[in-house]
Amino acid sequence: MLDLETVEPNRFRAQPLAGARAVVFGGQLLAQSLAAAARSNDGMRVKSMHTVFLRGGRPDEVLEIDVDPVHVGRTFGASNVTIRQGERICTKSIVLHHVPDDEIISHQVEPPDIGSPEEAAPITSNEARGWEVRIAQEAEIFDPDAIGPAELYVWSRFRDVPSEPWASQALLGYASDGFLIATAMRPHAGVGQDLAHVSIDTTVITQTLTFHDDFDAGEWLLLAHRSPVARHGRTFGRADVYASDGCLVASYSQENLVRAMPQR
């Protein structure tokens, strides 16, 4: 997924991953946007990325990725990244690059005490792609009749992660796309992931990723999700990401569409 084909400087081509759905998984578009931005500015680290999802990607067409370096300074840089299929624009992202400074202050919110990855329930459907996912505290996200608080704790790690720091960032982008809609659904009876694209329309509208420190996506990461509001067919959620030593390494937020599927 991260092995982009370079067409010319700042232009790349990528193949969609095969899947059961008729659209490209949004996490793949996040991962490949970040990978392209990082490869176009290898003198700086990616600090954050804000992405707007405009159209779903078709899984049977090549993805074209264009990077427009907007600014390159001594400490910060910025790039626009567009993923398209022909004239169809799938996503647009603005990526902030930086060179880290020496610290004069440092603090973080401590991780929640939710047990170890070994105590969490595995989701086996992702393992064929080299992604291991475990849901903590026996939370149920697929059954429409199971309800719980609007929070969700997920353990994530990948196999065979490349050594470059941006690769772990990109893989976290892939992992980050999958759980905030489910988090927003948890308090509500009669909705759940199993009904998505069956009787309920769900999709990500925008997503922002922010990176606080280096980490290895091949080690266990705890994704601590919360959804503070759902209203007018939209939901908002955010998550903090902790490494196994308790270091807060990243955060992300997401706006989503959740509405009844139109009758046909």
CA atoms within 13 A on the CB side of 51: 32
Which of 139, 116, 105 has its CA nearest to residue 225?
139
Lowest average pLDDT, out of 20-24, 176-180, 256-260, goes to 20-24
What's the start-to-end Cα distance of the chain, in Å? 36
pTM of the model: 0.93
Domains 1-100 and 117-264 share a fold: yes
CB 85 within 8 A of CB 62: yes
- In this structure, are residues 193 and 144 in contact, taking their beta carbons and an 8 Å threshold? no
pLDDT for res 79: 97
Using pLDDT thresholds of 50, 70 and 90, give the confidence band for residue 146.
confident
Fold designation for 1-100 = Thiol Ester Dehydrase; Chain A (3.10.129)
Q: Which amino acid is at 202?
A: T
Q: Is the pLDDT of residue 263 over 70?
A: no
Radius of gyration of the chain (CA): 18
CB 167 within 8 A of CB 36: no
Helix (H), strand (E), coil (C) string for 77-140: EEEEEEEEECCEEEEEEEEEEECCCCCCCCCCCCCCCCCCHHHCEEEHHHHHHCEEEEEHHHCC
Collapsing DSSP to helix, strand or coil, 194 comes out as helix
Task: Supply 226's token pair.
Answer: 């919360």
Over residues 237-247, the pLDDT tens digits come to 999 999 999 99
| pLDDT confidence band for 17 (50 / 70 / 90) | confident
Mean pLDDT rounded to a whole number for the chain: 92
Per-position b or e across 59-78, b if 16+ CB within 10 A of its CB: beeebbbebebeeeeeeebb
Q: Is the pLDDT of residue 63 over 70?
A: yes
Q: What is the pLDDT of residue 144?
A: 81
Q: Is the dihedral of CA 6, 79, 221, 154 positive or negative?
A: negative
Is the per-residue pLDDT at 230 higher than 70? yes
Alpha-carbon span 156 to 138, nearest angstrom: 16
pLDDT score, position 169? 98
Those residues with Cβ within 8 angstroms of residue 102's Cβ, 6 or more apart along the chain or in another chain? none
Tens of pLDDT, residue by residue over 182-210, are 999 999 887 766 666 666 788 899 999 99
Determine the pLDDT at residue 196.
65
Residue among 49, 44, 16 at smallest CA distance from 30: 49
Give the pLDDT confidence of 103-122 residue by residue, as tens digits.
999 999 999 999 999 999 99
Domain definitions of the chain by residue range: 1-100, 117-264
Distance separating alpha carbons of residues 79 and 145, to the nearest angstrom: 44
117-264, what's its fold?
A: Thiol Ester Dehydrase; Chain A (3.10.129)
